[in-house]
């Protein structure tokens, strides 16, 4: 009997096309009231090649001054822009059979579905959707998770923040940074969704780390921790050899071998703990 073909969610993500999507809109209302005024798509092929495209979109709704101040798109700029109907074939080409990613994906997916519905076209076929905002909260758990802050944290200086191309590019680079920094290099969509679920405040992995930290405080020994650092001058992921001392609120106080002094590590940012009994 021939082996059963793998589900798409079990294929390593980086061996599949990935497409980052970002919309700029007349406002934040996801009902029919607000409309898209700009779209950007950045697609990464399995061989690493990246293709990018963006377009302003003619909108039947004018752009309020408040929204113009955010994305710097004026009503004059979209006056002669193509309609969503005009650019739909290009959107379909970019999104076809890709893993779609976006920062706060429910917002962008809602506008994609809404604009497709207005022109009576199907939503372009994608194989999965991953949200870089949810991923950042689960994988990194940094103090600020907006796209500009996260981009700066991974060493990208945001240019034209809140314009679609800048945001789509930064979402893709953030996604790739998380994927390559994570120890398991062949993460699948299923793996990512499991990690997100397990790293929720009451998830299996969070409970496991908290339980292990409590046990190690009772029986101190040298351990190696891998954690995500919020300090912009340091690598995003770091490994330290420490000896636990006590738990202070949400932090592990420990003696750090590198600094030769006591340091505090936020427990929710600790990704793994290795006991070093032989040291």
- Whether 162 sits among the annotated catalytic residues: the reply is yes
Question: Cβ(102)–Cβ(22) under 8 Å?
Answer: yes
Q: Which of 16, 71, 162, 271 is catalytic?
A: 162
Helix (H, G, I), strand (E, B), or coil: what is residue 84?
helix
Query: What is the arrangement of strands in the sheet containing 126-131, beginning at the earlier edge strand?
Result: 50-56, 36-44, 18-25, 98-102, 126-131
Count CB neighbours of 37 within 10 A.
27
Cα-only R_g, the chain: 22
| Bridge partners (DSSP) listed for residue 133 | none
The torsion of the CA quartet 187, 190, 191, 192, rounded to 10 degrees, works out to: 90
Own/partner contacts of 149-153, CB < 8 Å, gap of 24 or more, are 150/174, 152/232, 153/230, 153/232, 153/236
Q: Which residues are known catalytic residues?
A: 162
């Amino acid at each position: 009997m021939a082996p059963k073909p793998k589900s798409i969610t079990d294929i390593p993500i980086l061996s599949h096309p990935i497409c980052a999507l970002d919309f700029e809109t007349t406002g934040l209302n996801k009902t029919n009231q607000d409309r898209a005024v700009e779209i950007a798509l950045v697609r990464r092929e399995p061989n690493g090649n990246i293709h990018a495209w963006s377009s302003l979109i003619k909108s039947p709704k004018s752009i309020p001054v408040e929204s113009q101040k955010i994305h710097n798109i004026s009503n004059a700029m979209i006056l002669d822009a193509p309609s969503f109907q005009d650019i739909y074939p290009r959107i379909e080409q970019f999104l076809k059979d890709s893993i779609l990613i976006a920062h706060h994906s429910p917002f962008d997916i809602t506008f994609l579905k809404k604009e497709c519905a207005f022109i009576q076209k199907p939503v372009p076929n994608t194989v999965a959707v991953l949200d870089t905002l949810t991923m950042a909260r689960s994988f990194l758990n940094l103090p600020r998770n907006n796209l500009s802050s996260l981009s700066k944290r991974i060493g990208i200086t945001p240019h034209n923040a809140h314009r679609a191309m800048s945001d789509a590019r930064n979402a893709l680079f953030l996604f790739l940074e998380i994927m390559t920094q994570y120890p398991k290099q062949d993460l699948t969509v299923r793996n990512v969704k499991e990690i997100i679920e397990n790293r929720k405040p009451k998830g299996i992995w969070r409970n496991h780390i908290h339980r292990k930290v409590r046990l190690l405080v009772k029986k101190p020994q040298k351990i190696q921790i891998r954690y995500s650092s919020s300090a912009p001058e340091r690598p995003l992921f770091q490994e330290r050899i420490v000896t636990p001392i006590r738990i202070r609120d949400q932090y592990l106080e420990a003696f750090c071998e590198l600094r030769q002094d006591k340091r505090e590590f936020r427990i929710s940012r600790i990704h793994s703990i290795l006991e070093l009994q032989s040291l």
